[in-house]
Structure 1
Amino acid sequence: MVNEWLPVFIFMIIMSVVVFVILAGTAFIGPKRPNPVKLSPYECGVEPVGEPRTRFSIKFYMIAMLFIIFDLEVIFFYPWAVVFKRFLSGSSFILIEMLIFVGILLVGYVYAWKKGALEWQ
């Protein structure tokens, strides 16, 4: 059994040595002359003005959370679509199951819509 895993262990040791050499090399070879310009945050070529920690509107977080929730739910459609034709020949249970899932998804969407989570005002 050790013979089967020997190449994996050798590979892990070699990769660990390579990572250590690269990290140590950059620490020893890299320039070490800090100044205020190098220590300031870089903002895509724009001069940093004001406090870097500004607050975002809660609407951004609401849209992000809704996207994550509905995106994860839509991911469940893919395995269903892959096996749909195979299971549909026996019974329509898989179709009814997905219609219930879509119904729950739509109820969540309508709830978010009615609560005003999708309005940008």
Structure 2
Amino acid sequence: MSTFNLDVYMPVVILIALALLVAGGSLFLGSLIRPHNPNKLKETAYECGEEPVGTAWANFNIRFYVIALIFIIFDVESALMFPVAAVFKKFNEIGMGGTLLMSILTFVLVLVAGIVYCWKKGDLDWVKSFQHVNQDAPTFGKKD
């Protein structure tokens, strides 16, 4: 019966602690020695030498966020495909290629189902069409 030996992980723990100490120490030391003289010019947003127009905070259309989230999902999916492709030959040699292929196809099909759902729902349409209002529905506050 083998025992779990924590001594083999001690160099990693020491390296992580040392990295945290160096990063935290340099941030602390930098805050001590930097000059503290803020003024209005230093607090403005720098826009390539141009005078700032408006505030730095701007509202973006929500459609940008939907497209960005879908891009991130498929970007991560493609990044997760590379390790599977790298070990597929080894899995195929030991007779597990079909299992690996089915698992990755299931992964892709779930993501394709998600994009089809977004497409059918209309979340990928940049200009959404309005639904026709039911003519028989009562209108409140309108006079004929």
2:56 maps to 52
Please, which of 18, 22, 46 is the counterpart of residue 15 of structure 1?
22
| 2:47 corresponds to 1:43 | yes
Distance 2:67 2:36 in 1: 43
Identity %: 41
1:66 maps to amino acid: I
User: For the residues of structure 2 that align with 1:75 and 1:39, how far apart are their CA atoms?
Assistant: 39
Q: Which residue of 2 aligns with 1:67?
A: 71
Equivalences, count: 112
- TM-score, normalising length: structure 1: 0.70
Shift of the 22–53 alpha-carbon distance from structure 1 to 2, 3 Å rule, reads: closer
Partner of 2:122: 116
State the Cα deviation string for residues 26-79 of structure 1 (Å, max 9, x = none).
2xxx362x4322222222333222243221100111111111222222222122
Asked if residue 86 in structure 1 is aligned to residue 93 in structure 2, the reply is no
Quick one: higher RCO (CA 8 Å, sep 6+), 1 or 2?
1
Matches of 2:25 and 2:66, distance apart in 1: 43
Q: Is residue 84–residue 94 contact of structure 1 (8 Å, CA) maintained in 2?
A: yes
Name the amino acid aligned to 2:48: C
Runs of 4+ in 1 over 4 A off after TM superposition: none
Q: Which amino acid aligns with 1:120?
A: W
Q: Over the residues paired in the alignment, what is the CA RMSD in angstroms?
A: 3.1
Q: Of 82, 98, 107, which aligns to 2:104?
A: 98
| Bigger mean CA deviation after superposition, 68-77 or 81-90 | 68-77
Unmatched 5+ residue regions in structure 2?
1-6, 128-144
**Structure-2 separation of matches of 1:23 and 1:93:** 55
Greater helix percent: which structure?
1
Q: Can you list the C-alpha shifts for 1:76-107, whole angstroms capped at 9, x where unaligned?
A: 21221121011123142211222222221211
Instruction: Identify unmatched segments of 5+ residues in structure 1.
Output: none
Q: TM-score, normalised by structure 2?
A: 0.60
In structure 2, the CA distance between the partners of 1:104 and 1:15, relative to structure 1 (3 Å rule), is closer
1:24 corresponding residue in structure 2: 32
- Indicate conservation of the 8 Å contact 1:88/1:95, yes or no: no
